[in-house]
Structure 1
Amino acid sequence: MRKGTGEVVEVFDGRSGGWDAEVVEAGKMKGALRVLAQVRPQRDPPDLWLLFAPIKRARTDFIVEKAAEMGAARICPVQTDFTNSERIRRDRLQAHAVEAAEQCGGTFVPEVAEIEKLGALLDHWPEDRRLMFCDEGLAGAGATLPRDAGPWAVLIGPEGGFSEAERSRLAALPQAHAVSLGPRILRADTAAVAALTLWQTTLGDWA
């Protein structure tokens, strides 16, 4: 929005890397670019989903932004037994994911899925996708993960934690691995950042 005709900006489409483009038209209501040359190859994140229960609007926005910055490939809001917010504006959250990718120089934008009940999601959970289940009931225990490559997901609970029924359901899921995020119980937005950091440094592209 601050560039004029003849200046160069970097653009990306989420699939083919970063490209220099020349501004050939710059108006208040519209503009036009001419793509010049590729300047960065496409870099996709690991096959990692983030599952989280929506909370207050600003903190939900924060979770989506940080997930995009930290390398989640898909962001899945889930409704749990203790979820305080049952509605989301998916289009607004997707826009936050795009902005986060732009700000951190990424070339990939994670998809933000529609909100889904946790139980329904687990009913058709992929057999090949492991699930890192962050259980606040394990606060103080060690955080260990099997060093298995392949598709993964990280699940963060709502304010108030998971219900006993949900804990039992997750414990019975062969692909689920319960972990602690340290000696203190974290807020949901803090837990999302901590969990993504743990996974990325253990199994992801930070390792």
Structure 2
Amino acid sequence: MSIFFVEKQNVENDIAYITDKEDINHIVKVLRKRKGDKINLCDGKYDYSARIVEISRDKIKLLIEGKTLNDRESIKNIFLFQCIIKNQKMDIVIQKATELGVKTIVPVVSKRVVIDISEKQGKKVERWRKIAQEAQKQCLRPVSPLIEMPIRICEIKEKYLDKLDILLIPYEKELRPSRWSLPSDYNNIGILIGPEGGFEEEEIEELKTFKNVQVISLGKRILRSETASIAALSILMHELEEM
């Protein structure tokens, strides 16, 4: 099912307007929609069933025929701190984290990160935001996750730890079985995933000194970074009864 996103100010008195040029082109030239055809809309809070009443070069006017509350956003604020990995793998993490309901994605530079994006990080973040927006539309989320500018791993404490109830860190050297049950009043939950080469031991030891950090295990096998992200987020969403 295709769904198109509209600005809240473009919805009023049972009339909605689509003004995004890419969406207009997709509706008219790809889906071949015409006057009288139905499409689905979302303004970030409500889903609408609407019928096209007018098509022009710069907008599509629609009559709203049905309205329901969009409840596909997680009630928890999930932060993914993803150490930067190679291009296509990072793209996959951004896409799947969006589908799984992450609210904020923070690219992280740790000691073993092998990708240097210092000179082009603006373009990289713009690309990741575009990937997240496309994934958001595919999974029918009302809003796209926030993609932050990259930070160094040592900046997590200064910029984020006070905002989190807990920061979970999957670590291959943590062999004890992990308990994922979290207190119900934990609303801001972070997960930190290492790069291809894993974490330096001193990075983990430094983070373990903070009271709201918990190092966990994802099992006996060594997982790729992108696999660890998807696995950890899936387990967390299951524990939060989001899956």
TM-score calculated relative to the size of structure 2: 0.76
What's the CA shift for 1:62?
A: 0.5
Q: Does 1:32 align with 2:60?
A: yes
CA distance in 2, matches of 1:33, 1:93: 31
What's the CA shift for 1:75?
A: 0.9
CA distance in 2, matches of 1:153, 1:143: 16
Q: Does 1:189 align with 2:226?
A: yes
Determine if contact 1:132/1:154 at 8 Å carries over to the other structure.
yes
Deviations 1:80-126 (A, max 9, x none): 11112232411211111111121122223211111111111222321
SS in structure 2 at match of 1:75: strand
AA paired with 2:98? A
Root-mean-square deviation (Å): 2.0
Does the C-alpha gap of structure 1 residues 177 and 95 become closer, same or farther in structure 2, counting only changes over 3 Å? same
CA distance in 1, matches of 2:156, 2:241: 23
Residue in 2 that maps onto 1:107? 142
- Runs of at least 5 residues in structure 1 that lack an aligned partner in the other structure: none
Q: Does 1:148 align with 2:183?
A: yes
Bigger relative contact order, structure 1 or 2 (CA pairs below 8 A, ≥6 apart): 1
Q: Give runs of aligned pairs for residues 54-203 of structure 1, distance below 5 A.
A: 54-87=84-117, 88=121, 89-124=124-159, 125-126=161-162, 128-138=164-174, 140-149=175-184, 150=186, 151-203=188-240
- The alignment covers a number of residue pairs equal to 203
Q: Identity over the aligned pairs, expressed in percent?
A: 26
Higher alpha-carbon Rg: 2
Does the C-alpha gap of structure 1 residues 42 and 145 become closer, same or farther in structure 2, counting only changes over 3 Å? closer
- Runs of at least 5 residues in structure 2 that lack an aligned partner in the other structure: 1-25
TM-score calculated relative to the size of structure 1: 0.88
What's the CA shift for 1:35?
A: 5.5
Which of 79-88 and 186-195 deviates more?
79-88
CA distance in 2, matches of 1:61, 1:86: 16
